[in-house]
C-alpha cells in the first residue's frame, strides 16, 4: 500500500512537467501577444480615407468652378440682351416718332397704331412672326412727337406761316389732352409720366410762340425771320 505522503509526492512529481509545460506555453503566448501589440503600437498610423477625401473635394471644386463659369456666361448674355433690348426699344420709339411726324407733315392728321403696323408688314419676313408695335411703345413714341412739332412750329412762324403753326399748336394740344386720359390707365407709366412733363413744355412753347406773334406782331415784323428767339420765351418746367 502507498502511504499518503508518498502518494502526494508521487502525484506532484508526476504532474509537474505538465504544469510546467502549460505555464511555459502560456508565457510564450503572452510574449507573442505583447510583441504583436508593441508592433501595432509602433506601426505609423494612416488614414485610409485621405485619398478618397482629396478626390471628392477636388470634384466639388471642379463642379463649383464650372458652375461659376456658366453663371458668368449667363450674366453676360443677360446683360447683352438687356442692352440690345434697350437699343431696339429706343429705335422703335424713334420709328413711331418719325412715322407719325411724316404723316402729319403730309396730311396734317395722326397716324394711328393700326395703320402704323400695317406699314410694317411688307418689311417682315413671312417665315417668322411679323414685327408689330404694341400700344405702350406707340404711346411713348407719340409723346416724343410733340418735340418735333414744336421745332416745326417755330420754323414755320419764322417763315411767316402762322396759320400752319396754329394748326400744329391745336394738334399738339389735342394729343396731350388725350394722353392725359390714357396715362393713368397704364401699369408701368413712370417713363410716360416723364415724357408727359416734357410734352407739356413743348405744347406751352408752341402756344407761347403763336401768342407772341399776335401780341408782338410789330416786333416780329421788324425782326423778320432771322431772329425768332423771342418765340421761345417759356422756361422749362421743373418736374
How many whole angstroms separate alpha carbon 168 and alpha carbon 151? 10
Rg, the chain, Cα only: 50
Residues in the chain: 239
What's the rounded mean pLDDT across residues 189-211? 88
Banded model confidence at residue 216, pLDDT cuts 50, 70, 90: confident
pLDDT at 208: 92
Q: Which of 165, 159, 177 is nearest to 205 (CA)?
A: 165
Where do the domains of the chain lie? 56-223
pLDDT of residue 238 exceeding 50, the answer is no
Banded model confidence at residue 204, pLDDT cuts 50, 70, 90: very high
pLDDT, one tens digit per residue, over 52-108 is 788 888 888 888 899 999 999 999 888 888 888 777 766 777 889 999 999 999 999
pLDDT at 148: 92
pLDDT of residue 205 exceeding 60, the answer is yes
pLDDT at 103: 94
pLDDT of residue 2 exceeding 90, the answer is no
Cα–Cα–Cα angle for 82, 86, 87, nearest 5°? Answer: 120
Cα–Cα–Cα angle for 25, 27, 31, nearest 5°? Answer: 115
pLDDT of residue 49 exceeding 80, the answer is no
Name residue, grid cell 502549460. Answer: 22
pLDDT, one tens digit per residue, over 123-146 is 777 777 878 888 888 998 898 999
Q: Which CATH number describes the domain made up of 56-223?
A: 1.20.58.2140
Task: Kindly list the distances between the CA atom of residue 50 and the CA atoms of 42, 44, 55, 57, 217, in Å, as whole numbers in the listed order.
Answer: 21, 15, 9, 11, 97
Cα–Cα–Cα angle for 237, 233, 204, nearest 5°? Answer: 50
Amino acid at each position: 500500500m502507498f502511504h499518503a505522503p508518498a502518494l502526494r509526492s508521487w502525484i506532484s512529481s508526476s504532474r509537474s512537467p505538465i504544469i510546467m509545460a502549460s505555464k511555459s506555453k502560456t508565457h510564450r503566448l503572452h510574449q507573442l501577444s505583447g510583441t504583436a501589440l508593441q508592433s501595432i503600437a509602433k506601426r505609423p498610423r494612416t488614414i485610409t480615407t485621405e485619398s478618397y477625401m482629396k478626390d471628392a473635394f477636388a470634384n466639388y471644386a471642379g463642379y463649383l468652378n464650372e458652375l461659376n463659369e456658366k453663371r458668368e456666361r449667363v450674366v453676360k448674355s443677360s446683360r447683352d440682351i438687356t442692352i440690345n433690348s434697350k437699343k431696339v426699344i429706343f429705335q422703335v420709339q424713334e420709328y413711331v416718332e418719325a412715322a407719325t411726324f411724316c404723316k402729319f407733315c403730309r396730311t396734317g392728321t395722326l397716324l394711328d397704331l393700326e395703320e402704323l403696323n400695317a406699314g410694317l408688314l411688307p418689311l417682315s419676313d413671312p417665315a417668322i412672326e411679323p414685327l408689330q408695335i404694341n400700344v405702350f411703345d406707340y404711346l411713348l413714341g407719340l409723346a416724343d412727337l410733340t418735340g418735333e412739332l414744336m421745332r416745326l412750329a417755330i420754323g414755320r412762324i419764322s417763315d411767316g406761316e402762322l396759320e400752319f403753326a396754329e394748326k400744329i399748336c391745336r394738334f399738339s394740344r389735342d394729343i396731350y389732352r388725350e394722353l392725359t386720359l390714357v396715362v393713368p390707365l397704364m401699369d408701368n407709366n413712370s417713363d410716360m409720366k416723364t415724357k408727359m412733363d416734357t410734352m407739356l413744355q413743348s405744347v406751352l412753347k408752341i402756344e407761347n410762340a403763336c401768342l407772341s406773334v399776335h401780341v408782338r406782331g410789330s416786333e416780329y415784323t421788324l425782326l423778320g425771320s432771322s431772329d425768332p428767339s423771342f418765340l421761345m420765351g417759356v422756361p422749362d418746367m421743373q418736374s
